[in-house]
Amino acid sequence: MHDTSAHAVQHHAPTSFIRKHVFSLDHKVIGKQYYALALAAALIGMVLSWIMRIHLGWANAAIPGLHTLSPNGAPGGVLTPEYYLQLMTMHGTIMVFFVLTTAPFAAFGNYFLPIQVGAEDMPFPRFNMMSFWVTFTAFLVLVSSFFLGDGPTLGGWTQYAPLNSIGSASGPGQGLGVVLWMISIALFCIGQLLGSLNFIGTTLDLRVKGMSLMRLPLSAWAWFITSCMGLTAFSVLMPACILVILDHVAGTSFFVASNLVLNDQLVPHSGGSTLLWQHLFWFFGHPEVYIAIVPGIGIVSHVLIANMRKPMLSQRVLIYCMGALAVLSYMVYGHHMFVSGMNPVSSLAFSFPTLVITIPATITVLIWVFSLYGSRLRINAASLFALGFISMFVSGGVSGFFLAQPSIDIMLHATYFVVGHFHMVMGVAAMFGIFAGTYFWFPKMSGRMMNETLGKVHFWLSFVGTYCIFMPFHYLGLAGNIRRYSTFVDDFLQPLIPVHRWITVAALITGAAQLVFVYNLIHSRFWGKPAPDNPWEATSLEWSTATPPPWDNFGGKHPVVYHDPYQYGVQSSVGDYVMQASPEQVKTDHEEK
């Protein structure tokens, strides 16, 4: 690393409280803001799931405080079917957009991508700041629908047409609630587009000398690929939201079919295409799955390598696999529409790439497993969650093989089988990636270590708990348990209620286990053991700088990169690794032999 005089530093540190902590231009502060937003959103989403689970297990149970939140939706604290759907919609929307997209991509990516490439900041800090505050506004708009009109929309996070366009006649929340949902998601799209702009510019234009593309850490690659996906996906979802808003407020007929009669009244729209929304939504929606999971793949690889003390079998193939997942994610979206009455040839055309996409996913898993084989893995909270990610990714992914085939999907599509599938492969796996990243990078972000014992307790409770919750979902689906029902009164569903009660108890315990994490996070932030600059003896650039990093990341210095990102298992002056920015020449164990 080369020292330079102060005039080489292009930024001046902020002095006012507002510039430092609120409207900050610093990518690290913005990353933390995204993380805090995701954490708050996750807690809200979790409480919503608790309420739904209690209702599914004990349909007549009165939930304290719910009557105050919505006297009509939960009279006496007992959920109406409509309010159940409203809570379900908000749970899905908050989790998919404001947690699974925000935390692994926007939070960690903002904080660490510039440091991992050796830059002082992102290329457009003002856009970056706007990105967060627009996203935050989107979250407020979405949550405000709890308190405005007749509550949030009940149409599910997919907001299918024509339900999304025919107004309050189709149920509570379908008027103002839908409009607020669409405004929120359109704003979210703008925020993520601004973020993608910065991520792509950072990766392509701000790498330091020696940081060739193949020397980027896998996490940086994952954020770059994700930003490319986000750029394509969110710029399609935003116009779709605009068209729905126009159907609501301007009387246009983009999505409502003609001669639609609702409650014995003719809906005043004509000739719209209900399937058009599905095409536009799923062109975004399926890549969104990978927007949630690809950063996790990068983070987990990054964490595992540091704990295995050896690189992956092939960094290059892992990068290609993430790229293949990104490209194929746009070619498979029709598998969400197998039950829409599409032409069987079209089904086949979407089924085939859906099966093909399992190839890069499987190669990724095999690289992880064979890299782990024979390694002396350091067991800590971060590596445990990384292993948990792999487990969830495989368990949830296997059911994807079945759902990829139209003939099976038509049977299972509307059941809990699909709910179990996407919760494991997209939801829990991505959450485990977030936890792995948190335990790994928390020392760098805060300057303090997290409590390892609490971290391991958190892992085991979460790992066992999520299997207890989501594996029975598959069984429920195979037994014909239709999803989105708020209560089960049909004869064939009655015997399944004990399973639902089991899931509810597991969900309450697993949710409570997350409070251990929150406690650990807050306690460690203020009273944790001070962290050294490189507590994990890791090699990438974020560990070359001070903990926490200074305003300009490298304190007026600019690193020069001499090594691949993961030089472990070598003999150097500092141990079995050599950092990317170290000019030291080293020999590998392999060459010693």
Partner 1 sequence: MATSVHEPPPVDPRRIPGNGNGGGGNLVPADGDRRLAVDYSPPPSSTAIWVVLFAISMMFAAFTSALVVRKGSSLDWRTFTLPPVLFLNSLTLIASSVTLEVSRRRIAAFMGNMQNRAENPARWLYVTLFLGMLFVAGQYVAWSQLRAEGLYLATNPSSSFFYVLTVTHVFHVLGGLGGLVYVIRKLNKSSLRRSTLEAAARYWHFMDLLWLYLLLLLWVKL
Amino acid, single-letter form, for residue 37: L
Smaller CB distance to partner 1: residue 46 or 326?
326
Q: How far is the CB of 506 from partner 1 (least distance, A)?
A: 41
Binding mask 9-38 for partner 1 (x = CB under 8 A): -x----------------------------
Region from 132-140, 251-259, 293-301, 490-498 binding partner 1, contact rule CB under 8 A: 251-259
Q: How many residues bind partner 1 (CB under 8 A)?
A: 76
Smaller CB distance to partner 1: residue 533 or 564?
564
H/E run at residue 321: helix 315-328
Position among 240, 294, 305, 384 found at the interface with partner 1 (CB under 8 A): 240
Smaller CB distance to partner 1: residue 230 or 437?
230
Beta bridge partners of 571: 587
Q: How far is the CB of 569 from partner 1 (least distance, A)?
A: 7
Binding mask 210-239 for partner 1 (x = CB under 8 A): xxxxx----------------xx--xx-xx
Q: Binding of partner 1 at residue 252 (CB under 8 A)? A: yes
Smaller CB distance to partner 1: residue 163 or 240?
240
Position among 36, 61, 204, 574 found at the interface with partner 1 (CB under 8 A): 204
Our CA angle for 104, 125, 235, nearest 5°, is 60
* Per-residue buried b or exposed e for 406-433, using 16+ beta carbons within 10 Å of the residue's own CB: beebeebbbbbbbbbbbbbbbbbbbbbb
Sign of the alpha-carbon torsion through 282, 283, 284, 287: positive
Smaller CB distance to partner 1: residue 479 or 560?
560
Position among 44, 117, 141, 445 found at the interface with partner 1 (CB under 8 A): 117
> Per the structure block, which two tokens stand in for 61?
């149970």
What DSSP assignment string belongs to 506-521? HHHHHHHHHHHHHHHH
- Contact of 413 with 334, CB cutoff 8 Å: no
Q: How far is the CB of 445 from partner 1 (least distance, A)?
A: 23
Q: Where are the strands (E) in 225-361, listed by range? A: 261-262, 265-266
Smaller CB distance to partner 1: residue 41 or 260?
260
Region from 63-71, 169-177, 192-200, 435-443 binding partner 1, contact rule CB under 8 A: 192-200
Q: Binding of partner 1 at residue 242 (CB under 8 A)? A: yes
Region from 18-26, 199-207, 296-304, 400-408 binding partner 1, contact rule CB under 8 A: 199-207
- Residue owning tokens 């990353």: 31
Q: Binding of partner 1 at residue 291 (CB under 8 A)? A: no
> Per the structure block, which two tokens stand in for 299?
């983070």
Position among 201, 323, 480, 550 found at the interface with partner 1 (CB under 8 A): 201
Smaller CB distance to partner 1: residue 64 or 341?
341
Q: In three state form, how does the secondary structure of 118-178 look?
A: CCCCCCCHHHHHHHHHHHHHHHHHHHHCCCCCCCCCCCCCCCCCCCCCCHHHHCCCCCHHH
Q: Binding of partner 1 at residue 342 (CB under 8 A)? A: no
Position among 263, 265, 376, 590 found at the interface with partner 1 (CB under 8 A): 590
Q: Binding of partner 1 at residue 141 (CB under 8 A)? A: no
Q: Binding of partner 1 at residue 208 (CB under 8 A)? A: yes
Q: Contacts for 91-95 with beta carbons within 8 Å, 24 or more apart?
A: 91/45, 91/48, 91/49, 91/52, 92/156, 92/157, 93/142, 93/157, 93/181, 93/184, 93/185, 94/41, 94/44, 94/45, 94/48, 94/139, 94/142, 95/41, 95/42, 95/45, 95/427
- Contact of 473 with 419, CB cutoff 8 Å: yes
Position among 251, 261, 376, 491 found at the interface with partner 1 (CB under 8 A): 251
Region from 50-58, 288-296, 509-517, 580-588 binding partner 1, contact rule CB under 8 A: 580-588
Q: Binding of partner 1 at residue 158 (CB under 8 A)? A: no
Q: Binding of partner 1 at residue 349 (CB under 8 A)? A: no
> Per the structure block, which two tokens stand in for 59?
């349909």
Q: Binding of partner 1 at residue 119 (CB under 8 A)? A: yes
Q: Binding of partner 1 at residue 490 (CB under 8 A)? A: no
Q: Binding of partner 1 at residue 250 (CB under 8 A)? A: yes
What DSSP assignment string belongs to 435-489? HHHHHHHHHHHHSBPPPHHHHHHHHHHHHHHHHHHHHHHHHHHHTT-BTT-SS--
What is the rounded CA–CA span in Å between residue 438 and residue 526? 16
- Contact of 226 with 295, CB cutoff 8 Å: yes
Binding mask 269-288 for partner 1 (x = CB under 8 A): -xxxx-xx--xx--x-----
Q: Binding of partner 1 at residue 591 (CB under 8 A)? A: yes
Amino acid, single-letter form, for residue 372: L
> Per the structure block, which two tokens stand in for 91?
């749970």
- Looking only at residues 531 through 570 of this chain, which bind partner 1 when binding is defined by CB under 8 A? 557-558, 560-564, 566-567, 569-570
Q: Binding of partner 1 at residue 131 (CB under 8 A)? A: no
- Looking only at residues 299 through 318 of this chain, which bind partner 1 when binding is defined by CB under 8 A? 310-311
Region from 95-103, 268-276, 288-296, 521-529 binding partner 1, contact rule CB under 8 A: 268-276
Smaller CB distance to partner 1: residue 493 or 560?
560
Smaller CB distance to partner 1: residue 322 or 496?
322
> Per the structure block, which two tokens stand in for 147?
């308190």
- Contact of 32 with 40, CB cutoff 8 Å: no
Q: In what order do the strands lie in the sheet with 575-577?
A: 575-577, 568-572, 587-588
Smaller CB distance to partner 1: residue 94 or 216?
216
